[in-house]
Amino acid sequence: MRMNSALAIAAAVRNREVSAVELVDDCLSALESEGRRLVAVTRILTERARREAAAVDAAIAAGRDPGPLAGVPYGVKDLFDVAGLPTTSGSSLYANAPSATADAEVIQRLSDAGAILVATLNMDEFAYGFATINARHGTTRNPHDADRLAGGSSGGSAAAVAAHLLPFSLGSDTNGSVRVPASLTGIYGLKPTHGGLPMGGVFPFAESFDDVGPFTLSVADMQCVWTVLTGKSSEASDSAIRVARLGGRFRDNAHPDQIAAIDRIASDGPLIDLPHIAQARSAAFLITAAEGGALHREALARDPMAFDPATRDRLLAGALLPPTLIETAQAFRARYKAMIADLIADHDVLLAPSTPCVAPLIADPRILIDGDLSPARADLGIHSQPISFTGLPSLSVPLRRPGRLPLGIQLIGKPGGETLLFRFAAMLEEQRLTGVSSPAGVSAEVFLGDFA
C-alpha cells in the first residue's frame, strides 16, 4: 500500500472504508522493509502506533470524530520529544538519555487531530548538515535514485514521504533542512515564518533560525496539516497575487530547469536582486556555527570523540568563535531583515530555487557553487539559508518532471503569509507546473485507488 494523500486516508478512515489499525499495520510493515532499505527510519513505534490507531477506530465506532487527520500515519525527524523515548537528535550521545516525559507540542496537536505517530526518522546528527549522512544510522537514500543523497538534515522525513511510505512527516528547518530534502526528493516542504509553530519539545540546533515544518505530497495536505498545527483556519481570498523573481546569486547557481520554470510561472514578474545575499548567508553560517557550538559545549568538553565525525569538528570550531563576532552578525541580521521587508513590500510571493542542483551522488557528495566544487553537506542550502536569515516563510514546491531527478523551487512569502503561499502553490499544482512525480516503481494513484 502506498500513502499518497493524508486527506484521502482520513476520509476513508472516517467513512469506515478502512480501519486505522489495518492501515497502520500496512504502514509499519512498509517502513520495516522499504523504510529501512532507504535508511530513512531510526525507530518504528509499533506499540504506540497500534494503540493510537485502535483509539481512533474506537472513537469512530462510538460516533465521535477523531479529527481531520483521523488514522493518518506520520513520522517525525528524530529530534522531537516522543513520550517514553530518549530524544537523540540523531546522535549516539543521547541514545541512553532519560526518556521524554511528554510529546513535543506539535505531536500533541497532531494526535489531537487523529494522526498516528508511527516512526522517528533519520537526520544529520544535531541537524547540522544538508545531506543526512549519519554515523549511527547510515546515509538516507533518495527514493528516486538510491545512489543519491536525499538531502538534509531532515532527509529521513523527506525520503519516507517521497517513497509514499507516509503521507506526511515533520522535519525541522534551521537553514534549509526541510526545503533542501523536499527539493531533492520532489515533494512539498514548508519552513514557516520564524516562530510560527511551537518549538516546545524540539531538540534545538541554532535557536535564531530553528523552525519545524511538514513534508507532504500535495498542497491540500500541506494546508490541512498546517491548519492542525497552528489551530487557525485558512482564510479564503481571491485577491491578485503579486509575484517577483529573485535574481543575482539565486539565478547564478541554479539548474536551468528551475530558471525556466520560474520564468514561466512569473514571466511578467520583476526580477529582484536581494542585496548582500552572500553576506547574509555568511552571517547565517556564523550564527548557526556559534549557536550550535555553544549548545553542545559541555558535551564537547566532556567527550568530543562521542560526536559524529561529520559534525564534531564543525561544532568544535563553532564553539571557539568569539561572541563579539556573533553580536556583529546578529546586528547585521536585524538591519538586513528591515531592509528586505522594505524591498519586498510590493510583492506577495518571491520565487527562487530551493537547491542549486539535483541530488548529488552519495559516492561523490560535492556540488558546483560559483564554478567550484564544494561539499554538499555544507552548501546545498545556499538558496535556503539567506531566506531563513530573514525569517520569511518559504514553501518548497516540486517541479513536475516525471522520469527525471526532482528539483524544487521556493515560494517565499511575507511574515505570516503561509495561507497565500498555499493558494499560489495550489494554482501552480492545478496548472500542472508543479506537483509530485512518483519515483520509478511507486504508484502515483491516490490512496483511495488502492481500495477501489
Residue 181: which of 391, 392, 376, 433 has the closest Cα?
Answer: 376
Strand partners, 410: 352, 396
- Nearer to other proteins among residue 2 and residue 312 (C-beta): 312
| Cα R_g (the chain), whole angstroms | 20
- Least distance CB 136 / other proteins (angstroms): 18
Q: Give phi and psi for 95, each to the nearest 5.
A: -60, -30
Q: Using CB under 8 A, list all residues that contact other proteins.
A: 275-276, 278-279, 281-283, 285-286, 289, 297, 300-301, 304-305, 309, 312-314, 316-322, 324-325, 328-329, 332, 335-336, 338-339, 378
Q: Within a 13 Å sphere around the CA of 150, how many CA atoms are in the beta-carbon half?
A: 34
Residues with catalytic annotation? 77, 153, 177
Minimum distance from residue 183 beta carbon to other proteins (Å): 23
Grouping H, G, I as helix, E, B as strand and the rest as coil, residue 138 is strand
Cβ closest to other proteins, residue 46 vs residue 279? 279
Judged by DSSP in three states, 337 sits in helix
| Close Cβ partners of 431 (under 8 Å, ≥ 6 residues apart) | none
For residue 341, the minimal CB distance to other proteins (Å) is 11
Question: Closer CB to other proteins, residue 85 or residue 339?
Answer: 339
Instruction: Choose between 98 and 371: whose C-beta lies nearer to other proteins.
Output: 371
189 near 161, Cβ under 8 Å? no
In the block, residue with C-alpha cell 531527478? 405
How far, in Å, are 127, 183, 377 from residue 176 at the CA level? 10, 10, 12
**Nearer to other proteins (CB atom), residue 31 or residue 300:** 300
Least spacing, CB of residue 387 vs other proteins, in Å? 16
List, in order, residues 6 or more apart from 397 with CB less than 8 Å away. 188, 219, 408, 409, 410, 411, 425, 428, 429, 434
Q: How far is the CB of 116 from other proteins (least distance, A)?
A: 41
